[in-house]
Structure formats: structure tokens, C-alpha cells
Homo-oligomer: A and B are copies of this chain.
Amino acid sequence: MDMQKTSLKIVPIGESQSLKTRAYEALKAAIAAMNIYDENAELRLDERDLSARFGISRTPLREALAQLDQEGLVKVVARRGIFIVRKNKAEILDMITAWAALESMAARLAAERITPENLKELHQLTDPYSDVDRHLGEYSDANIRFHQAIIRAGGNPLIEQITDSLFMHVRAIRNRTIVEKDRAKKSLADHKHIVAAIESGDAELAERLVREHTLKLRAHVEEHVNFPS
């Protein structure tokens, strides 16, 4: 009853989700942890081997793989095998475009409802890096997190969820293209403008800046980045 509330701290028991969910998350994390665009990446998975290594049976594992398949992270081919999917250039460009659409809308929403907490986070992900030369390594990470923060600040869980499934690929691209000092510097400048727009509550501007920022990335990838496969 009520009395228990103060005397007993009921922990979310076991915290054990279904095996399927755990397998899904473990696989996703494992794939995210490897650079799937590395030339030497092992792109083949094996049901039976994985089930043995996870210590679960094939059924929940297959359900997890089916989910990853639908997300496009993996391709299950009957009687051939399971392969980690490497997106081709056109697909990557489409992803960046969709991302631009969603993140720019999130920026619009963020500008309309920004909270001090969100704003603080955005500043923390831009202000400390003004001296790009000295923080190039860390900035790659802050760059990614900045875009996630924008999306989160939009307060639309659906947009967060959709972008999550694009995240792994877009992250790989961002990491790959940010290493040039000049691009990092321009990127940071864009970010600062975006924060300012959100801070001032200018939804239209915030939206446009985010869209243009991401479409710039798209154009850069289209022109300069080559893909295997």
C-alpha cells in the first residue's frame, strides 16, 4: 500500500527485458562499435554462432536480427547468410537529406520551446571548442552530440526515434568528414549561429540554418566522399 512507498525502494525488478530485446541492443551496439565502412570489416554474421556466443537460442536472436533487417542495418538472405549492410553513396545521400528534414524541423520546434537546460547543453557543445586547432579530436564527438541535442530539444519523440535509426550511418559520415580542420572550423561557426537562432526564438531561422548546414554536408559528401562496394 501507500506506506511501502517510503519504506521500500522497489527496484524495477530484475531489469530483465526479453532476450530478443537484449540481443537486439547487443547486436546494434556491436555493429555500432565497429566501423562498418572500414575496408577490412567483417560483414558476415552467423545465426548459430551468434546464438552460441550470446548464450541464447536462435529464436529470439532471429527476431532481433529481423528487426535490424527492417531497420536496414543488416540484410538476411535466405540460405546465403546474414550480412551487415554497407549503404551505397546514393543511400547515404538520401539519409543525410532525410536527416536534414527532420533535424531542421526539430530546430524549429526547439526554438519555440527552448528550455534553459537544453540551451545550456547546446552551449556546452559549442563554446568550449572555439579553438578548433587544439580540440580537433574531441570536436568530432561534440559535433555528433550537438546534432542529437538539437533533435532532443525539439521534443518530438518520433523524430528522435526515426533519426536514431539513421544515426549510425550519419555519424560515420560526419566523423569521416569532420577531420579536416577547415571543415571543423566552418561547422563550429554554423553551430554557433544555430544556437543563437534557437536562443533568440527565431524558429524560421533556426530551421533554415540547420537545413543548410546539413545540406552542406550532403553536398560535400556527394562531391568528395567515395564509398566502397
Residue among A70, A78, A98, A159 with the most chain B CB within 10 A?
Answer: A98
B158 touches A94 (CB 8 A): yes
Chain B residues within an 8 Å CB radius of A62 = 63
CA distance A146 to B100 in the complex (A): 23
Residue of A18, A101, A104 contacting most chain B CB atoms (<10 Å):
A101
Please, how many angstroms separate the alpha-carbon atoms of A157 and B56 in the complex? 35
Task: Tell me whether B63 and A95 are in contact (CB under 8 A).
Answer: no
A122 CB to closest chain B CB (Å) equals 20
A67 contacts the other chain (Cβ, under 8 Å)?
yes
Contact check: which of B59, B91, B109 meets A158 at CB < 8 Å?
B91
Taking a contact as CB atoms closer than 8 A, the residue among B63, B70, B101 that contacts A104 in the complex is B101
A20 to B62 Cα, complex, angstroms: 12
Chain A interface (Cβ within 8 Å of chain B)?
Answer: 18, 20, 59, 62-63, 66-67, 70-71, 78, 91, 94-95, 97-98, 100-102, 104-105, 109, 156-159, 162
